[in-house]
Amino acid sequence: MRLEQIPVIGPLLEAGADDSVFDALLILGPIVISIITFLGRTLPSVLLAVAYTGGFLSYIAYKGVAETTESST
């Protein structure tokens, strides 16, 4: 079964930005939130939240730099 065939999530992923990292972040979002809710405010949960938010922002910045470099060449 392909990811796009999953009910509810499938059509949403198909409508996204054609980017597997963002799609992964979308799927991982509720899982990360559930884990953090379960763990409470501990060092591993803080690191997990930092990894998610940091990863999201860093990836946007990376795509921006890559796009600018590509369009200038």
* Structure tokens, 24: 């992964």
Of the pair 29, 44, the CB lying nearest other proteins is at 29
Q: How many alpha carbons fall within 13 Å on the CB side of residue 26?
A: 17
Supply 63's token pair. Answer: 């795509």
Applying the rule CB under 8 A, the residues between 9 and 68 that interact with other proteins are: 11-17, 19, 22, 25-26, 29-30, 32-33, 36-37, 46, 49-50, 52-53, 56, 60, 63-64, 66-68
Eight-state DSSP code of residue 4: G
6 binds other proteins (CB under 8 A): no
Q: Which residues, in sequence order, are CB contacts of 55 under 8 Å at separation 6+?
A: 25
Site of interaction with other proteins (CB under 8 A): 11-17, 19, 22, 25-26, 29-30, 32-33, 36-37, 46, 49-50, 52-53, 56, 60, 63-64, 66-68
